[in-house]
Amino acid sequence: MASTQVAAEGSKAPTNNPTLLAWVAEMAKMTQPDSIVWCDGSESEKKRMTEQAVSEGILIPLNQQKRPGCYLHRSNPNDVARVEHLTFICTPNKAEAGPTNNWMEPDEAYHKLGQLFAGSMKGRTMYVVPYAMGPIGSPFTKIGVELTDSIYVVLNMRIMARMGKQALDMLGDSDDFNRGLHSTGDVNPDRRYICHFPHDNTIWSFGSGYGGNVLLGKKCLALRIGSFLGREEGWLAEHMLILGVTSPKGETTYVAAAFPSACGKTNFAMMIPPAEYKGWKIETVGDDIAWMRPGPDGRLYAINPEAGYFGVVPGTNNKTNPNAMETISKDTLFTNVALTPDGDVWWEGKDGEVPEELIDWQGRPWKKGSTEKAAHPNSRFTAPMSNNPVLSPKANDPMGVPISALIFGGRRSTTVPLVLQAFNWTHGVFLGATMGSETTAAATGKVGVVRRDPMAMLPFCGYNMGDYLQHWLDMQKTIPQLPKIFQVNWFRQDKDGKFLWPGFGENMRVLEWVVNRVHGRVPTKETLLGWVPRQDEGLNLKGLDMSADAVAEATSIKEDEWKTELKSQEVFFEQLGSKAPDALMLQRKLLISRLEN
């Protein structure tokens, strides 16, 4: 069998690290795999494992002329997304996890999951996946080792992280690595848990095969454990894209931006400027996660700890994100999309005509006009960042890039203007802490309910959210040259429910204003909420098919809406209780005072 061949070729441990060897032996004793394979990250290993995954029906080869190196995977229909209600922070006391996280006592969690893991890999192979989050040799980088019985996880991890021998070499004999244990089990939602043990730098994931739950370097280490380590060690692990914007004069400015899901984060990271911006260039450092720490020159430096993109496919096309379309044209794993008769992939929102017939994401025949989705709404692509045609040359820089601006954005049909700049760092943290997005009718039955998502980190913060916000405030003491902080909203609507701002590449106009503000080049208008563009020397609107009235509406600040907004924010701060930072409560009082006067 193929699995026996893989085990025979890769079973000898390629390390003498005593801590790692002892831990792997302990986990193997509990899970009882038939064989153990140490992954080296080589091309020959990728070829071998891909062939095995195809032979076992885990991957379906796509049309190799149309999409070279691309494959389709179909997950269990009960296992298609992150499971926030089954995701736990396991700290010695509940207060440390905070009111916005699910909590489980560590001993209870180890016991409960230990019973599930016991013998769970009988008849299976345990793959040992050493990986680095961050460039090899970078002081920012963290090493993790994931033990998994899923070859799908292995093939995704080699795209998403720097996997194999290079990570083991960087670890050496150190005991400082994240210990990740994963088994798909029987993929039963009643026996599905994703548990994080911040004090042990450990993650146990059982019963799922979906990427966000099982690619343990991503949200689990890079954000939940990462945010905890960041507070302990004096840095920030954030749910942020990183891009570089270069002017025609050759000046490059780096920006990090946080948006909740469905707010265009990947599109912004890979944006193509409009025709009026000839000579301007956007380059992607990262599309999802930023690790940021003070640099020796007093600025805040950021790396993207990932090596690939794990993106939502539906809605991706040559209008919304042409660079993403090129990125996924080769060497990409697709999960839960539809299959065309000629072996290509399809999803809702893809360019061109809807095919007459498809095989849907569950492997069933699908006809044009069907009321059911052909691709799952959360279907995914996993693609190497090296495929990105606008990848920044600094994407692998071990020292990262200096961040000049931080942007917070959400999906709001009213209230929040197109762009504003915070008065100072504390005010900017307040803007980030109170950001949110409106729910859709499909999700809740109500439209326009604002879900607070501070810094877009609500599902990903590995400790008490109040302490997290205080850590943000405290960081200003260690960063002499603080980035400027901005808030944006691409989703403001007119009275007929139509978007006022065209978005996509036109967001370059807002980004240019941000860059000009960072470098002190344009004056502003002061408002109750922050500094906004002036009408005479503000946003560059040349060539934009948008009326002056629409621009004025998109950038307007309406006091009655903000009085309602402040009442809504109070609910969030009450949830944090005594952990709500005093400095943010003062910001709120100051804003209320400004509105009343």
DSSP SS3 for 284: strand
Instruction: Provide the token pair at 522.
Output: 């344009």
Helices vs. strands in the chain: H and E counts, helices first: 18, 31
Which pLDDT band holds residue 440 (cuts at 50, 70, 90)?
A: low
- Binding site feature residues for Mn(2+): 219, 239, 288
pLDDT value of position 158: 98
Ramachandran class of 315: left when φ > 0, alpha when ψ lies in -120 to 50, beta otherwise: left
pLDDT in tens, 76-99: 999 999 999 999 999 999 999 999
What architecture is the 238-308+392-596 domain classified under in CATH?
A: Alpha-Beta Complex (3.90)
Q: Which fold has domain 2-57+85-233?
A: Phosphoenolpyruvate Carboxykinase; domain 1 (3.40.449)
pLDDT value of position 323: 97
Instruction: Provide the token pair at 337.
Output: 């999309």
Residue 339 pLDDT > 60, yes or no?
Answer: yes
Residue 447 pLDDT > 80, yes or no?
Answer: no
Catalytic-labelled residue, pool 70, 90, 195, 263? 263
Beta strand 142-148 pairing with 125-133: antiparallel
Q: What is the model's pTM?
A: 0.96
Q: Which amino acid is present at 150?
A: S
Task: Look at residues 559, 560, 438 and name the one whose alpha carbon lies nearest to residue 489.
Answer: 438
pLDDT in tens, 12-54: 899 999 999 999 999 999 999 999 999 999 999 999 999 999 9
Q: Which amino acid is present at 289?
A: I
Mean pLDDT for the stretch of residues 135-141:
97
pLDDT value of position 464: 98
Which pLDDT band holds residue 8 (cuts at 50, 70, 90)?
A: very low
- Residues 351 and 72: their CA atoms lie apart, in Å, by 19
Which pLDDT band holds residue 274 (cuts at 50, 70, 90)?
A: very high
- Residues 480 and 390: their CA atoms lie apart, in Å, by 31
Residue 1 pLDDT > 80, yes or no?
Answer: no
DSSP SS3 for 152: helix
Helix, strand, coil in percent for the chain, rounding step 5 = 35, 25, 45
pLDDT value of position 11: 64
Mean pLDDT for the stretch of residues 546-573:
92
- Residues 23 and 34: their CA atoms lie apart, in Å, by 17
- Residues 391 and 396: their CA atoms lie apart, in Å, by 10
Q: What residues does CATH 2.170.8.10 cover in the chain?
A: 309-383
Residue 6 pLDDT > 60, yes or no?
Answer: no
Residue 583 pLDDT > 80, yes or no?
Answer: yes
Residue 232 pLDDT > 70, yes or no?
Answer: yes
Mean residue pLDDT across the chain: 95
- Residues 191 and 115: their CA atoms lie apart, in Å, by 11
Q: 263 catalytic, yes or no?
A: yes
- Residues 398 and 138: their CA atoms lie apart, in Å, by 4
Instruction: Provide the token pair at 505.
Output: 């590449």
Residue 5 pLDDT > 60, yes or no?
Answer: no
Mean pLDDT for the stretch of residues 581-587:
97
Strand partners for 531: 421, 526
Chain Cα centroid distance, residue 194: 17
Beta strand 345-346 pairing with 338-339: antiparallel
CATH of domain 309-383: 2.170.8.10
pLDDT value of position 261: 80
pLDDT in tens, 122-131: 999 999 999 9
pLDDT value of position 448: 66
- The set of residues, in sequence order, having a beta carbon less than 8 Å from that of 176 and lying 6+ positions away, is 143, 201
- Residues 48 and 328: their CA atoms lie apart, in Å, by 22
Mean pLDDT for the stretch of residues 343-366:
98
pLDDT value of position 4: 35
Q: What residues does CATH 3.40.449.10 cover in the chain?
A: 2-57+85-233
Residue 445 pLDDT > 80, yes or no?
Answer: no
pLDDT value of position 597: 82
CB atoms near residue 247 (< 10 Å):
16
3-state secondary structure 214-236: HCCHHHHHHHHHHHHHHHHHCCE
